Structure 1
Amino acid sequence: MQNLQPHAKANYRNIMHAFSTIIKEEGMFRTIRGVNIVAIGAGPSHALYFATYEKMKKLLSERPGHNPLANAVAGSLATLVHDAAMSPVDVVKQRMQVYTSPYKGVIDCARTVYRQEGLRAFYRSYTTQLTMNIPFQCIHFVTYEFTQERFNPKREYNPLTHVVSGAVAGGIAAAVTTPLDVCKTLLNTQESCVASRLNNQAIVGMLNGIKAIHRCCGFAGYFRGVQARVIYQMPSTALAWSVYEFFKYFITKQKTESME
């Protein structure tokens, strides 16, 4: 849905129309294309993400309880290491998911991109991704910690509050940062119809991406796919936080019992 000038058969009106059209034109399995590369990258990137966040939050917080500045800074630093691991994954995933994608699989896509565009292609959107994800994670972590402070002030293991706080935090952060996500998608996919307006040059950097989006679609182009992004992020962040909080509780409990 974020492609600026999509193929006629991939011009989706809304989420349900996109889903049904993809199944009709490309088959059911097309809806999960790229899941293998995401699964490979998600483990190490999220391990770095939460480990960095917890460590930095403890170092920066002088007092217990909600500390928005410390949470925001810790979230920003966690994003730096997370995106370094996930940027190449996003490039491969998004190129495989575009309609009429020529790649046979993950390895074929990675090899072709490297051969034709070099290693730099995998990090072409890294600075834009950071520009998007740092405010995203700042809003995300501050909102999550704020919601926890209101509904779970004792910070006990409470699955319901973790799920609700994660969903609220992810939804708000996703909506606010959608324009930057559209820009990142353009930089990763290098849509030929957009590049042709720039004399067939590679679209490099956030500023060029922002200009290209406005030239093609106007202001509305910055919010293409906002509903899909929010609907995706809410359960995603809810699940991530609930699983993380469970293992944090489980490991802490095991350590406490072993010391007794």
Structure 2
Amino acid sequence: MSSDQPTWNRPKPGPKAMGASTTSPPLDPAVQAWFEDLFTQLDSNRDGRIDPNELAEGLHSLGYGHVSKKEMEEFLIKSDTSQSGDLDKGEFVRYMTNHERHLRLQFAKLDENQDGKLCIQEIIGAFKKMGIVITEDEAKMLRKRINYRDQSMEITYEEWRDFLLFHPSTELEELIQKWRHNTCMDFGEDIGVPDDFSDQDIISGMWWRHLMAGGVAGMVSRSCTAPLDRLKIFLQVHGGRKSLRIIDTLRYMVKEGGVTGLWRGNGINVIKIAPESALKFAAYDFIKRLIRNDEDRDLKLYERFLAGSLAGGVSQSVIYPLEVMKTRLALRKTNEINGISDCARQLFRIEGIRGFYRGYIPNLLGILPYAGIDLAVYETLKRHYLSEHYMDGTSFPAVSLLAFGTFSSCCGQVAAYPLALVRTKLQSQAGLNLNLPHEQTHAVGLFRYTVRTEGIKGLYRGIIPNFCKVAPAVSISYYVYERTREYLGVEMI
């Protein structure tokens, strides 16, 4: 038996608990006695009260590792009728008695055939009523979160109750949402596959809170890693021609523009987060609906990749002029360009609209290998971890998601980096009369020129600082995202 499994005997629900009626049945005396015994086990110092620390430590030791800190706080607020900051036995038993009664009623609503168990189809149906379409495989995975003691294909009331016993709400939609969550973190790249939102998220307005939390996290993480991003751009454009080392490039940037010069181009990089996220989300949602073709189903992995790639192409096409200006601003010398508006005027005066789309083709082509490999590696790692470890009802460890996201992002960057390098070199030519040979002014020619003069390693100039920024960008983004979503009231179970 796993050490995370609860250590006391739970009472079995009687026949009355599983009846078809949705009126409140009488509570089994054994259940009430169980709550009294549970209080005793949580009251570690035996003072007749449970404080927040005792609750947290007790739930962890008794096998309730899936109960989040936020849920514990809300549980205490709702059950502490005396507002003393802790619970006596009477408060605890009264609240748990009422909560358990509501859980039985909600279970009865889901148990369509009233056999006292939830099958896979009933789980799918419960999500469908909320506007969330899940596959049978996902329903089985969700079942394993609750039913981890045996290999049966069903969830009993006892298992349902134990999983949700300390969830602060008894509203059916909130209970079901505890099975699922979405994230919108910024991993430092603009071409990943967006997250899915349910119809319920859209109707409730939760989607824009997720996007806003992700946008704030992106602004902070990109600002913190901006020096590494500018260093990467310098090495991509000038590294081969001048044989620059990383330390030499960093010293030059500080000498030429001071410490603040390390953040050149960051302003526009932050500004473009909001329109790109909104465009990508809208395009992704529209393309998903086209792919489904009115079918009530979830997207398969390759369909998500296709929808995400097309959505990325749409958003990148619209905001690409900002990408070009970001590169030009990052490479500028002191007093060469006076801000974003001056950069836009110079580009338009010299090259017209064409100047704002330098490197557009390799940028679009780079979306496919990056998004495809990033998504495939991330989903593969997550599914493998779920199948090996995620069988005891505990929450998915945040550190695992961060590690998977970091590794999958790096894999995607390795595949797409040569195209990103060619794109950046072409962007750096925008608005400049360099009189370069024709070979160096278009994607295919510049790719051949780079390989011929620098070899394959020339296609990966600047990838080291690019890798160096991934881990801190993901970590900072996750931390800020968590704080922001808590402030906005975005529930992540």
TM-score norm. by structure 2 comes to: 0.43
Q: Which residue of 2 aligns with 1:225?
A: 462
Q: Does the alignment pair 1:70 with 2:307?
A: no
Q: Which residue of 2 aligns with 1:13?
A: 245
Stretch of structure 1 that moved more, 17-26 or 172-181 = 17-26
Q: Which residue of 2 aligns with 1:171?
A: 410
Return the match for 1:25 from 242, 256, 264: 256
Q: Does the alignment pair 1:93 with 2:326?
A: yes
- For the pair shown, which has the larger CA radius of gyration, 1 or 2? 2
Q: Does the alignment pair 1:136 with 2:370?
A: yes
In the TM superposition, what whole-angstrom CA distance separates every residue of 1:126-170 from its partner, at most 9, and x where no partner exists? 221011122111111222222222335679665323322221111
Deviation at 1:222, TM superposition (A): 1.0
Specify whether residues 72 and 26 from structure 1 end up closer, same or farther in structure 2 by C-alpha distance, changes over 3 A only.
same
Stretch of structure 1 that moved more, 34-43 or 76-85 = 76-85
Q: Which residue of 1 aligns with 2:346?
A: 112
Q: Which residue of 1 aligns with 2:275?
A: 44
Q: Which runs of 5 or more structure 1 residues have no equivalent in the other structure?
A: 255-260
Q: Distance in 1 between matches of 2:346 and 2:258?
A: 24
Specify whether residues 132 and 18 from structure 1 end up closer, same or farther in structure 2 by C-alpha distance, changes over 3 A only.
same
Deviation at 1:202, TM superposition (A): 7.7
In the TM superposition, what whole-angstrom CA distance separates every residue of 1:70-102 from its partner, at most 9, and x where no partner exists? 232122122112312331112111111225372
Q: Distance in 2 between matches of 1:103 and 1:28?
A: 18
Q: Distance in 2 between matches of 1:239 and 1:219?
A: 33
**More contact order relative to length (CA 8 Å, sep ≥ 6):** 1
Letter in 1 for 2:402: V
In the TM superposition, what whole-angstrom CA distance separates every residue of 1:15-71 from its partner, at most 9, and x where no partner exists? x44334322332111111111111111112023334544665685598669x43123
Q: Which residue of 2 aligns with 1:214?
A: 451
SS at match of 1:103: coil
Question: Within 5 Å, which residues of 2 pair with 1:232-251?
Answer: 232-236=469-473, 243=481
Deviation at 1:192, TM superposition (A): 10
Deviation at 1:112, TM superposition (A): 0.3
Letter in 1 for 2:276: S
Q: Distance in 2 between matches of 1:238 and 1:49?
A: 23
> Which structure has greater helix proportion?
1
Letter in 1 for 2:463: V
Letter in 1 for 2:256: E
SS at match of 1:177: helix
TM-score norm. by structure 1 comes to: 0.77
Specify whether residues 146 and 64 from structure 1 end up closer, same or farther in structure 2 by C-alpha distance, changes over 3 A only.
farther
Q: Distance in 2 between matches of 1:226 and 1:194?
A: 28
Deviation at 1:113, TM superposition (A): 0.5
Deviation at 1:198, TM superposition (A): 0.7
Q: Which residue of 2 aligns with 1:79?
A: 312
